[in-house]
Amino acid sequence: MQGDTYLKPMPEISNKGREMPPSPIRKLVPYAETAKKSGIKVYHLNIGQPDIETPQTMLNAIHHFPMNVIEYSHSAGIESYRKKLCSYYNKYNINLDYSEIMVTTGGSEAIEIAMMTCMNEGEEIIIPEPFYANYNGFSTQAGIKVVPVLSSIENGFALPDVSEFKKVITPKTRGIMICNPSNPTGYLYSRDELELLKELALKYDLWLFADEVYREFCYDGKEYVSIMHLKGIEQNVVLLDSISKRYSACGARIGALISKNKEVMDHALRFAQARLSPPTFGQVAAEAAIDTPDSYFENVKAEYTARRNFLVDALNKMEGVFCPKPSGAFYCIAQLPIDDSDNFCQWLLEKFSYQKQTVMLAPATGFYSHPEPGKQQVRLAYVLNLDDLKNAMKCLEEALKVYPGKAVSVTKVAEA
């Protein structure tokens, strides 16, 4: 009828769209932006964006880009880069042919393609938790189910007992995934732990995926062991990598999917062809980065060690706080005397400041398959310089004194 308003029904969002989880690392950004607009300085410990300078070798390669046209590369990546990558991995006793490397748009795409290549919708992948929050998103995109095996803050998030894995293995189980060293816990898996995973993968005919983007950052003389070092399981193994943290080049968006299983590589390439090619500028910079001198990594590792030592010590001196000392990466998870980490992290940005400063943390609820184990935990990324870390820890200490939603603290245990 004329004059009446007729509202047409809106098309519905897909089930998969509704199931995609929001990022626990980025969901508080609007609160941080509001705080900054009101004149509050926010110390970002919520995200793994280092303040370390990107190597000059990479920047020079971008400044002196050798082409007149920014072309598509091969879908598997520029051949000269993949060949040069073999020399990089060889330093870690990972011996590869360039055909066993596929360049991806960041480590994220490597994980997505690996899941879609190796697993069918409805199948299950076992992941020790807490785990990198985006594994939830990647698995949702691939239509597969994450089955968690819970690790404990009390022993520093060591690999759960093999019996815990066996409890959740079903006919739908197709793989196990780890991050080593771990984001978000900083735990570094030992050779013995990896051997246990190898035996499980062989016994139950499973894929073994490993996200190893933090291999450069292992501390206290502890050994980095790759799943590519394991013997007798080469056809089950898929290695996932990225240059983002290695060279403090998160925006370059260059990763890699690596396997000695030819069928995996052939079928992964089909997904790569569908997205045409990885970023050309990023690959040019990444190829140049392989020439970065060892002194760069020695300096960066020393810096992260100092940051880790300060941060963990400062946390454990706070009343009711416990944080195990990580052996790798640049993250840790701390247990706080709070009722709800989501509420606390939002409160820090929305209602708290100390001398016009506050700190942004990532609630650990998003690093578990269900939020309950992370209700009193937060993840901190020690990616800021020591002066900023000192200010951030002072803010956190003062915040815990006045936060209205306090809870009983955990009993502190020995460092793992």
Instruction: Residue 45: give its domain's CATH number.
Output: 3.90.1150.10
Among candidate residues 258, 289, 320, the one where a domain is terminated: 289
Among candidate residues 289, 324, 349, the one where a domain is terminated: 289
Q: Does the residue 407 lie in any domain?
A: no
Among candidate residues 255, 289, 323, the one where a domain is terminated: 289
Q: Are residues 211 and 317 in the same domain?
A: no
Which helix (H) or strand (E) is 315 found in, with range? helix 294-317
| DSSP β-bridge partners for residue 211 | 179, 240
pLDDT at 5: 61
Q: Does the residue 8 lie in any domain?
A: no
Q: Are residues 315 and 387 in the same domain?
A: yes
pLDDT at 21: 85
Beta-strand ranges (E) seen in 71-130 are 101-104, 124-129
Q: Are residues 136 and 158 in the same domain?
A: yes
Q: Is this model's pTM higher than 0.75 or not?
A: yes
How far apart CA 387 and CA 255 sit, in angstroms, is: 32
Q: What percent of the chain has pLDDT over 90?
A: 92
CATH code of the domain covering residue 175: 3.40.640.10
Q: Does the residue 408 lie in any domain?
A: no
Residue 42 reports pLDDT greater than 60: yes
Q: What are phi and psi of 403, to 5 degrees?
A: -60, 130
What's the structural domain count of the chain? 2
Residue 408 reports pLDDT greater than 60: no
Reported as a single tens digit per residue, the pLDDT across 171-193 is: 999 999 999 999 999 999 999 99
Q: Are residues 81 and 222 in the same domain?
A: yes
Q: Are residues 169 and 97 in the same domain?
A: yes
Q: Are residues 225 and 352 in the same domain?
A: no
Domain interval for residue 95: 56-289
Q: Are residues 282 and 316 in the same domain?
A: no
Q: Does the residue 344 lie in any domain?
A: yes
**Runs of H (alpha helix) within 143-210:** 162-168, 191-204
Q: Are residues 79 and 166 in the same domain?
A: yes
Q: Does the residue 240 lie in any domain?
A: yes
How far apart CA 415 and CA 412 sit, in angstroms, is: 9
Q: Does the residue 411 lie in any domain?
A: no
Report the Cα–Cα distance between both ends of the chain, in Å, rounded. 73
Q: Are residues 36 and 93 in the same domain?
A: no
How far apart CA 407 and CA 256 sit, in angstroms, is: 43
Q: Are residues 103 and 19 in the same domain?
A: no
Average pLDDT over residues 126-153: 96
Q: Are residues 35 and 174 in the same domain?
A: no
Q: Are residues 299 and 161 in the same domain?
A: no
Q: Does the residue 111 lie in any domain?
A: yes
Radius of gyration over alpha carbons of the chain, in Å? 22
pLDDT at 409: 47
